[in-house]
Amino acid sequence: MLKSVSRILKENNNQCHPEFACAERSRSIQGSFNMTNIKNVGIIGAGTMGSGIAQVAATAGCNVKLFDLKQEALDKAKSSLEKIMNRLVEKGRITSEEQHRIQENISYVSSLKELEDSNMTIEAIVENLEVKQKVFQELEGYVDDDCIIASNTSSLSIASIAASLKKPERCVGIHFFNPAPLMKLVEVIPAIQTSDATLKISEETIKNWGKVVAVAKDTPGFIVNRVARPFYGEALRIYEEGIADFETIDRAMKEVGGFRMGPFELMDFIGNDVNYTVTETVFAAFYFDPRYKPAFTQKRFSEAGYLGRKSGRGYYQYDAQGKIISRHAELDSASHKKEFSTEIFERILVMLINEAADALFLNIASAKDIDNAMTKGVNYPKGLLAWADEKGMDWCVEKMDALYNLYHEDRYRCSPLLRRMREKNQSFFK
Ligand SMILES: NC(=O)c1ccc[n+]([C@@H]2O[C@H](COP(=O)([O-])OP(=O)(O)OC[C@H]3O[C@@H](n4cnc5c(N)ncnc54)[C@H](O)[C@@H]3O)[C@@H](O)[C@H]2O)c1
């Protein structure tokens, strides 16, 4: 059951999120919000993400209205949900009564006005600020004053979306991962305008839906799409320098690091076009910080149409079932190869740790949320900050400094937090 706003505020000693100027906000929350439960949920956009989010909310017992401009999208969402539900019943994961209940919980609507009785709406339409702002403005004219209006955007600022509303304090980012019903993590992103009550109710609701919440600051890439950049970027750099081929790098990350997929396999899985665009967007959004610089290799692969699994060819070649068909002969497991693999793995790992530490240094999220985001959102074998503790601050700082001394590139600058923690002999969790 969701807690009332007054209880939430009481638990927080009537304090708002410390990052923001809050006295003002606290007053306006109590004045305008009195919601104790999120029962009616409106989802805008019935594509990949919207239909998955609708399934999550309906499974949790909410009355969901799924809206799309296109009737085909609604029909497709309905039939694919039915298939998913049938499969879950066949596998014994849910009963047919539950299937019936979940499907009954979703109605498919073709006008935005039909979302008027929503307590919360989550938008998952095209990634275009102007289009989103227009939809939000229209929606605000239909829903009650205490309806939370959320966006599932991956790359736009929540502040810019919220700015389109008369009551921007009701706007928040609720960022699911694909596929939404399977991925445990949801990033919840308050904009500078977001009220503390909106944030708390959103967090509680998403937790009630069975998800792990990581609260992130409204900055490019939020947590996962920021902290994960070196996994791809440093792997591409190692390849571009001619240090190792795709397969050797992938094997190092899997066999030494315990990652489920290597960077090149993962880029092929995500799609080189999609992954490249995220990198380019994050790079531009960080005012071209060299740490996020995209790689020509990936750009050329994208331009050539070597998109990965979906096009049958990326860094690897795939058969019709999406299985890799061009593997090199088994790599020699002689000790010098192992050392080589360890060197590759450690270089990528320390860059990831550095990024995670810098995200904490800049208050993007708490240490716990940063680690949860990477283990629950992208299945990393360990949280990066816990990994830093294991390796020790000396190791982290020395590795980063060695890279910097070798290249003299800003990309390899060590996070001030790691340096400070080493001086003070501190760890993240121990
Ligand atoms: N696909 C992912 O892996 C992923 C992951 C996390 C977040 N996101 C974000 O989620 C959002 C949706 O992504 P997606 O992959 O589900 O897109 P999608 O293309 O699969 O679906 C978008 C749907 O929105 C509908 N639509 C477009 N404009 C509309 C409007 N004005 N009103 C109503 N419906 C409209 C389209 O008809 C389509 O059915 C984007 O903001 C994206 O950045 C995507």
Q: Are 159 and 183 in contact (CB under 8 A)?
A: no
Percent of the chain at pLDDT exceeding 90? 85
Amino acid identity of 189?
Answer: I
Supply the pTM of this predicted model.
0.87
Question: Which of the residues are catalytic?
Answer: 154, 175, 187, 225
| Residue 61 CA neighbour count, 13 Å, CB half | 8
Computed on alpha carbons and rounded to an integer, the radius of gyration of the chain in Å comes to 23
Residue 321's pLDDT band, with cuts at 50, 70 and 90, is confident
69 lines ligand 1 (CB under 6 A): yes
What is the per-residue pLDDT across 395-422, written as a single tens digit (0 to 9) for each?
999 999 999 999 999 999 999 999 999 9
Predicted confidence (pLDDT) per residue in 348-394, tens digit: 999 999 999 999 999 999 999 999 999 999 999 999 999 999 999 99
Judge if the beta carbon of residue 68 lies within 6 A of ligand 1: yes
pLDDT tens, 220-238? 999 999 999 999 999 999 9
Looking only at the bridges linking them, the beta strands covering 106-109 and 148-151 are: unpaired
pLDDT of residue 170: 98
Type of residue found at 400? M
Cα-based torsion angle of the residue sequence 91, 95, 96, 97 in order, rounded to the nearest 10 degrees: -160
pLDDT value, residue 336? 52
Name which residue leads in pLDDT, 36 or 176. Answer: 176
Query: Across all residues in the chain, what is the average pLDDT?
Result: 90
State the alpha helices, DSSP H only, in 330-423: 335-361, 367-372, 384-391, 393-407, 416-423
Q: How confident is the model at residue 317 (pLDDT cuts 50, 70, 90)?
A: very high
Name the residue of 68, 80, 136 whose CB sits within 8 Å of the most ligand 1 atoms, as the mutation to test its pocket: 68
Query: Are the beta carbons of 369 and 409 closer than 8 angstroms?
Result: no
**Partners of residue 333 on adjacent β-strands:** none
131 CB within 6 A, ligand 1: yes
Question: Does residue 49 line the site of ligand 1, with CB under 6 A?
Answer: yes
Counting ligand 1 atoms within 8 A of each CB, the residue from 43, 48, 133, 155 with the most, and so the one to mutate, is: 48
List, for residues 46-85, the tens digit of each pLDDT value: 999 999 999 999 999 999 999 999 999 999 999 999 999 9
Dihedral angle sign, alpha carbons of residues 90, 95, 101, 106: negative
**Res 339: pLDDT:** 85
Q: How far is CA 98 from the centre of its chain?
A: 29
Helix, strand or coil, per DSSP, at residue 364: coil
